[in-house]
Amino acid sequence: MINDELLYDVAYAYYIKGKLQKEIAEEYGVSRVQIGKYLKRAQERGIVKISVDKPNVDIKNLNTYQKFFSENFGLKKLVLSPGANTKERLLSNLCRTASKYIANNFDSREMKVGIGWGETLFNLVNYFEGINRSNWLITPLSGGTSKLSDKFFNVNYIIQVLSGALKAKPIPMYFSFILKDRKIAEEIKKTNEYLELQKLWDNLDIIISSVGYSLSRSPLFRQNVLDGSYSDKLEELKVVGDILTHYYDINGKMFNFDFKERWVNLSLEQYLKTPNKIVVAGGHHKVDSIIGLIKGNFCDCLITDEKTIKFVYEYFKEAKEEV
């Protein structure tokens, strides 16, 4: 019987190293036909998984979804990337689509741009090339914290990369996300630096962010930035996601928590009054988060992928039919 180790080695040589079947056959002293059989067997045993991703978005479907979410929930703009069968490909498609949309729809006039944190934004800022937006000011929307070792939450790094790509001016953040106690928070909030930050946040033109989806996996709780008791409370309230650490349930209901008195973070009021709120999010794991986002009317432009929006659309259609 052909063992899995042999099949793996042959498949690795062919698919990863790019060797010809003839070359591999010579190495193993078998025929080229035999190598073809090994590759087929590797697929059958699940050693090789082949995915085929459609490169273009179905415009008819896009128009259907856009009309539905616009008429029923007031979503101003829906932008779709092609679906994908792997997380890496999905993220790449989303980032490529989002960067193209932003570059094509927001010109070089003076803009104040706020950027969220997380894996999607960390990757997105690397997809802007050859675009000059020297009149843009780019700022984080929350303070930083040394407790977060996760690179996806390095707010100053994210804005520095994006500012460098766009030749824009970065406005770094030097406050902590969560301040030690209420008294310290009150004193910091009186400083000129904090007041200038608030003035900037009050007058943002664009916000680019994603949505959180898993409380148990969130670094804010795993690395004790926020107390675990809040996580328990969020579970009780059936929270499905957050936008810039503002938590909501699947019906779009927002919840308020007392830790906000000690944080340095864009307020919900500042977020909602920003005229261009762009949310980039995709993947089956974020379906519930996107449903709550749409129900709460928390974004102006949603950039997601074809497969994800299909799940979201079917959820709403089924709910509508049950009424």
Examine the domain organization and report whether 26 and 71 are in the same domain. Answer: no
Domain membership flag for residue 172: yes
Point out which residues pair with 248 in neighbouring strands. 241, 254
Examine the domain organization and report whether 82 and 152 are in the same domain. Answer: yes
Domain membership flag for residue 102: yes
- Count of residues in the chain: 323
CA 97 to chain centre: 12
Domain membership flag for residue 8: yes
Domain membership flag for residue 95: yes
Domain membership flag for residue 127: yes
CATH number of the CATH domain containing 9: 1.10.10
In the chain, the amino acid numbered 59 is I
pLDDT at residue 160 above 80? yes
Examine the domain organization and report whether 220 and 169 are in the same domain. Answer: yes
Examine the domain organization and report whether 32 and 78 are in the same domain. Answer: no
Examine the domain organization and report whether 103 and 8 are in the same domain. Answer: no
pLDDT (tens digit per residue) in 233-242: 888 889 999 9
Burial of 71 (0-12, 13-18, 19+ CB in 10 A): exposed
Examine the domain organization and report whether 73 and 15 are in the same domain. Answer: no
Q: Percent of the chain, pLDDT > 90? A: 57
Joined together, the tokens standing for residue 239 give 């929270």
How far, in Å, CA of 27 to CA of 230, rounded? 59
Point out which residues pair with 79 in neighbouring strands. 303
pLDDT at residue 226 above 90? no
Please work out, in degrees rounded to the nearest 5, the angle formed at the alpha carbon of residue 186 by the alpha carbons of 181 and 189. 120
Examine the domain organization and report whether 21 and 98 are in the same domain. Answer: no
Domain membership flag for residue 154: yes
The whole-number average pLDDT for the span 61-78 is 96
292 closest CA partner among 222, 216, 228, 237: 237
Examine the domain organization and report whether 22 and 129 are in the same domain. Answer: no
How far, in Å, CA of 173 to CA of 140, rounded? 7
pLDDT at residue 178 above 90? no
Examine the domain organization and report whether 26 and 161 are in the same domain. Answer: no
Mention every residue, 6+ apart, whose C-beta is less than 8 A from residue 68: 313, 316
Q: How far is CA 173 from CA 61, 116, 140, 194, 197, in A?
A: 41, 12, 7, 10, 9
Q: Percent of the chain, pLDDT > 70? A: 91
Of 46-50, 65-69, 81-85, 102-106, the least confident: 46-50
- CA-CA-CA-CA dihedral for 172, 173, 174, 176, to nearest 10: -160
Examine the domain organization and report whether 184 and 240 are in the same domain. Answer: yes
Examine the domain organization and report whether 14 and 100 are in the same domain. Answer: no
Domain membership flag for residue 299: yes
Mention every residue, 6+ apart, whose C-beta is less than 8 A from residue 195: 189
Tally of domains in the chain: 2
Helix, strand, or coil here: 66? helix
Q: How high is the pLDDT of residue 197?
A: 95
Examine the domain organization and report whether 36 and 74 are in the same domain. Answer: no
The whole-number average pLDDT for the span 31-46 is 88
pLDDT (tens digit per residue) in 87-110: 899 999 999 999 999 999 999 999
Domain membership flag for residue 53: no
CATH number of the CATH domain containing 260: 3.40.50.1360
List the domain range (segments joined by +) for residue 261: 59-322
